[in-house]
Structure formats: C-alpha cells, structure tokens
C-alpha cells in the first residue's frame, strides 16, 4: 500500500513539474529585512524557516539602531537553530547598500523617527478636536508618518532599482496606501503592500458566526483598512442576515466590535481593520465626546490616543520579549503565521499559485474607484509574480467611503513625492475625521504646528 501511495505521489509530482510547478524551493535565497527591530521580525523570520525546501540562504538584517540590530541577530541565530536549518546564515548591516547586493526579496518594516514624533502626531491635533485612536495611516498622524517615512522609503527603492532591480519589495510599513502610491508614481521597483487585516477580520467573522474558518466563503476588496466583505456565505447560505440578527439580541457580540458592527448596520457590509482604527477613516464616530463614549471602547476598539500612549512602551516590551526568548524564559513558537510574505516567496519560487490580498495600483481592478490610485484586493501569486484579480464594482456606498479616503491619500502621496507642505495641508483638508471637526483655517494651523514640531525629520519639505 505504501509503495502504491509513494508511486502515486511521484507521478503527481512529475506531472506538476511538467507544468513548471515545484514541490519545494530548490535554490538558496537571499532575503533582506529592512527594520530588523520591528515587531514583525520574529514571525516573518520564522515563516521563512517554514518554507518547504528553503534549506539554505542568507537573511541580511538591516537596522540603523546597532543595539537593536544585534539583538535581532541573536534572535535570528536562535530561530535558525530551532528550525534545524544550519545552512542559513545571517549578516547584520547598519548600512543597507551592501545588504541589497544579490537580494531576491526585501521585506520592508522600517520605522522612521522611532518614537520621537508619536506624541506630536496625537496631541497637537487633539487640541483642535481631532481625536485619534491609532493615527498611523490616515488623519494627521498618518499624514505626518508618511511625510517622515516617504523620503527614506523612496531612497530605498532607488537603491533597489540600481542594485537588485529583480527583487520584490514586500512592504509592511504604514501608512500602507500613501507609501505604495508614492512608490508606484516614482519607482520602477516591484513593490507590493502587505497587511494582515483581511486575514484577521475573516477569522473574526468565522468566530462571530461560530462556523469553521475553512467553510466560510467570502469576497473582499476596497482599500487598506477599509476593504469590504461584499459576500459572506456558509454552505451556500448568506450569513449577513444571520450576523445582523445575532446583533439584535447579543450585546456582548456588539461590544466586541462596536464601530464596525454599527457601520455594517447602515452600510450593509463588514469592513477590515479594528473598530478603533476604522473609526478614524470616517466622519461619524469621533467628532464629539458623547459619540466616542457611545460607540468606542478601550484599546483597539477606539480608545483615544491608544497608539500614542502605548507605542513607546510597546517598543521597549518588544525588545524585552526578545531577551526573554534568548534566555529561554519565554518559549518560541516555530509554527508558520498567516502573514503573506513567506507564502509569496514560496509561490514565486515554486510556481505553485497562492491567493493573497494586497495593496496594488487599481488600474481598473475595482471599477468604481479611481483608476490611478491604490486598492486592496485579491492577487494570485505564482512564478510570474503578483497578479491582481479584477473585482468589478463595490457597492456604491462602500465605494463612496473608500473614494473619500483615496482623495486624501492621493494628495498625501503627491506631497511626499513633491516635498510640498502645501499639498500636505490640502490632503489634510480632505481627511474625513479632520474635516468633521475643524475648519480649513484650523486644519492649516494643525499642519503648520506639526511641521514645526517635527522639523528635524521634515527638512526636505518646503
């Protein structure tokens, strides 16, 4: 019996190979990790170690913070040891240029300015009533994070074009939409934007509906942090009526995701990203304290200043957790995560297709969103690269909300590309939350004050 199974498997693999599909990676890889101090590092590195056939290669770690780079290097060595893949080697770099030589894939997780500006991003807008929960992808916080990050990001891409133009750049750094749009408008580097909000939200929906995840069928598209689950079925049954009926009598369920469920009540569909983050993309929930008290909860459910107040300590906690991993005080999970990076690498190397959701240029993929802006939608990855799938049109109300944000994202990306303070101000004029609470003159004051407070990181703008 075993012989028959083995023979059948061999025949199957032979057929797959004839189609150009490999069972596993069959060459050494060079992967560059930009921003090795990032909290993404451990999971993404572990994921690479789980790629079938990826038995040898180099992970080049880059970080301008030498102590954090050294800590990442020690953790990387331990992960290689636990994965029992001694042929992998690490190289550590505070200068990215030598690291990029011969790169096949670049994982970008850079954080420009560290924690130096996070309080400015939150506290100055708050004086004008712009109450942010996360504030790193939209609104004043997202805009100024983009303005600080984009000059470095675009320099990185220029280096990639010059040194390793064939490499794919897998971007995890926020603000995702603004950075990916700025990249598409200025660089020939092969860039894709990756987030885990689609994976996380689809698992949450399965949990809320109490159905096995693998049995839940759905379609999803929109923009990063505002992609809509336009279809949601289980065994052929539309689950939206079920979910909406649950919410009529289950106050505990409503409390788990208050803003997203309230928005679903009126806009018909469930959206990606947490309630707190999503509330910043809209003009409805954060413009008065009584509305925040009514609709928003703690932490990722909408707590005011949650990111700004927590991020400095979270950064320290991440470093301390690495030390605990190294000492053995905290066990290391060596299983593969749902992050897309390793699956993209595997699919490209083996030509075995996989579906992901990614931020890419629209170019007509979603018919009722701007053609020349970015969207988040399904893509098929194989040996030919990342191939976006045409979605069609979003429900009109969903497209309208996405479009509102894309107008802000469009001008924000242009302000980064053109190093323009004026375009930065005009982008913030179009931000839904800022516009809900401030006059144009007040938004101008917010913009000017943030440029002054963060001037050490914004010298290129005029």
Q: What is the CATH number of the domain that holds 105?
A: 3.40.50.720
What are 121-166's pLDDT values in tens digits? Answer: 999 999 999 999 999 999 999 999 999 999 999 999 999 999 999 9
d(CA 341, CA 46): 11
Paired with 377 in beta bridges are 358
Residue 193 · residue 360 · CB < 8 Å: yes
- HEC profile for 271-289? ECCCHHHHHCCCCCCCCCH
d(CA 79, CA 333): 10
d(CA 448, CA 394): 36
105-108 and 29-34 as β-strands: parallel, antiparallel, unpaired? parallel
What are 278-288's pLDDT values in tens digits? Answer: 999 999 999 99
d(CA 118, CA 406): 23
**Is position 79 within any domain?**
yes
Q: Where are the alpha helices (DSSP H) in 28-138?
A: 41-49, 66-83, 96-100, 118-126
How many other CB atoms are there within 10 angstroms of residue 318's CB atom?
A: 17
**Is position 277 within any domain?**
no
**Is position 99 within any domain?**
yes
Question: From residue 236, how far is each of 131, 208, 231, 241 by CA, in Å?
Answer: 42, 18, 11, 13
**Is position 205 within any domain?**
no
d(CA 254, CA 248): 9
Residue 1 confidence (pLDDT): 46
Query: Which amino acids are annotated catalytic?
Result: 196
Residue 432 confidence (pLDDT): 97
Token representation of residue 81: 């040891």
Residue 102: alpha-carbon gap to chain centroid: 26
Residues 163-175 have a mean pLDDT of 98
Residue 354 · residue 347 · CB < 8 Å: yes
Token representation of residue 259: 């803003």
Residue 6 confidence (pLDDT): 44
**Is position 144 within any domain?**
yes
Instruction: For the chain, give the percent of residues with pLDDT over 90.
Output: 95
CA torsion sign, 258 to 263 to 264 to 270?
A: negative
Residue 16 confidence (pLDDT): 62
Residue 101: exposure state from Cβ atoms within 10 A (0-12, 13-18, ≥19): exposed
What are 252-276's pLDDT values in tens digits? Answer: 999 999 999 999 999 999 999 999 9
Residue 451: exposure state from Cβ atoms within 10 A (0-12, 13-18, ≥19): middle
**Is position 47 within any domain?**
yes
Structural domain count of the chain: 1
- Residue 366: which of 186, 219, 184, 180 has the closest Cα? 219
What are 187-243's pLDDT values in tens digits? Answer: 999 999 999 999 999 999 999 999 999 999 999 999 999 999 999 999 999 999 999
**Is position 77 within any domain?**
yes
Residue 5 confidence (pLDDT): 44
CA torsion sign, 378 to 212 to 268 to 224?
A: negative
82: containing domain: 15-120+134-196+316-338
Residue 105 · residue 29 · CB < 8 Å: yes
Token representation of residue 78: 């331990």
How many other CB atoms are there within 10 angstroms of residue 245's CB atom?
A: 10
d(CA 419, CA 461): 5
What are 369-379's pLDDT values in tens digits? Answer: 999 999 999 99
Could you please report the per-residue DSSP string of 131-186? --SS-SSSHHHHHHHHHHHHHHHHHHHHHHHHH-TT-EEEE-PSSHHHHHHHHHHH
What are 1-57's pLDDT values in tens digits? Answer: 444 544 454 554 555 666 679 999 999 999 999 999 999 999 999 999 999 999 999
CA torsion sign, 362 to 405 to 113 to 197?
A: negative
Residue 9 confidence (pLDDT): 46
The CA R_g of the chain, rounded to the nearest whole Å, is 22
Instruction: For the chain, give the percent of residues with pLDDT over 70.
Output: 96
236 in the Ramachandran plot: left (φ > 0), alpha (ψ -120 to 50) or beta?
left
Residue 398 · residue 222 · CB < 8 Å: yes
Residue 18 confidence (pLDDT): 63
**Is position 69 within any domain?**
yes
Residue 19 confidence (pLDDT): 66
Share the mean pLDDT of the chain: 95
Model confidence at 421: pLDDT above 70: yes
What are 328-357's pLDDT values in tens digits? Answer: 999 999 999 999 999 999 999 999 999 999
d(CA 462, CA 356): 39
């Amino acid at each position: 019996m075993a012989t028959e199974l083995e023979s059948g498997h061999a025949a199957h693999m032979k057929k797959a190979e004839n189609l150009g599909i490999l069972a596993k990676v069959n060459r050494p890889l060079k992967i560059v990790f930009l921003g090795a101090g990032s909290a993404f590092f451990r999971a993404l590195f572990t994921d690479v170690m789980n790629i079938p056939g990826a038995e040898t290669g180099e992970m080049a770690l880059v970080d301008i913070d030498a102590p954090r780079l050294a800590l990442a290097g020690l953790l990387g060595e331990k992960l290689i040891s636990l994965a029992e893949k001694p042929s992998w080697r690490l190289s550590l770099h505070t200068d990215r240029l030598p690291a990029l030589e011969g790169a096949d894939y670049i994982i970008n997780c850079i954080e420009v300015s560290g924690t130096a500006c996070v309080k400015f991003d939150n506290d100055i807008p708050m004086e004008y009533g712009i109450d942010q929960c996360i504030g790193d992808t939209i609104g004043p916080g997202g805009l100024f994070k983009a303005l600080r990050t984009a000059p470095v990001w675009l320099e990185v891409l220029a280096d990639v074009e010059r040194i390793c133009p064939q490499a794919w750049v897998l971007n995890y750094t926020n603000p995702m939409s603004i950075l990916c749009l700025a990249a598409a408008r200025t660089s020939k580097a092969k860039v894709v934007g990756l987030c885990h909000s689609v994976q996380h939200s689809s698992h949450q929906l399965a949990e809320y509906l109490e159905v096995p995840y693998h049995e839940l069928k759905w379609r999803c598209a929109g923009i990063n942090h505002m992609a809509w689950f336009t279809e949601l079925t289980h065994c052929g049954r539309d689950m939206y009526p079920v979910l909406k009926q649950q919410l009529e009598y289950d106050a505990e369920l409503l409390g788990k995701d208050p803003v997203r469920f309230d928005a679903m009540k009126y806009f018909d569909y469930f959206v990606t990203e947490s309630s707190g983050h999503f509330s910043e993309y809209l003009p409805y929930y954060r413009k008065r304290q009584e509305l925040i008290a009514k609709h928003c909860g703690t932490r990722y459910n909408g707590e005011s200043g949650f990111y700004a107040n927590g991020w400095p300590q979270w950064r320290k906690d991440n470093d301390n957790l690495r030390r605990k991993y190294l000492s053995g005080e905290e066990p290391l999970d060596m299983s593969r995560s749902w992050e897309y990076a390793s699956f993209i690498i595997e699919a490209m190397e083996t030509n075995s297709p996989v579906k992901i959701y990614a931020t890419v240029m629209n170019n007509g993929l979603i018919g009722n969103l701007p053609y020349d802006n970015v969207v988040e939608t399904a893509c098929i990855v194989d040996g030919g690269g990342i191939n976006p799938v045409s979605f069609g049109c979003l429900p009109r109300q969903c497209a309208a909300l996405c479009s509102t944000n894309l107008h802000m994202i469009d001008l924000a990306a242009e302000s980064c590309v053109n190093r323009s303070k004026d375009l930065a101000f005009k982008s913030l004029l179009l931000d839904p939350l800022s516009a809900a609470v401030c006059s144009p003159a007040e938004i101008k004051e917010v913009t000017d004050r943030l440029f002054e407070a963060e001037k050490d990181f914004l010298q290129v703008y005029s």
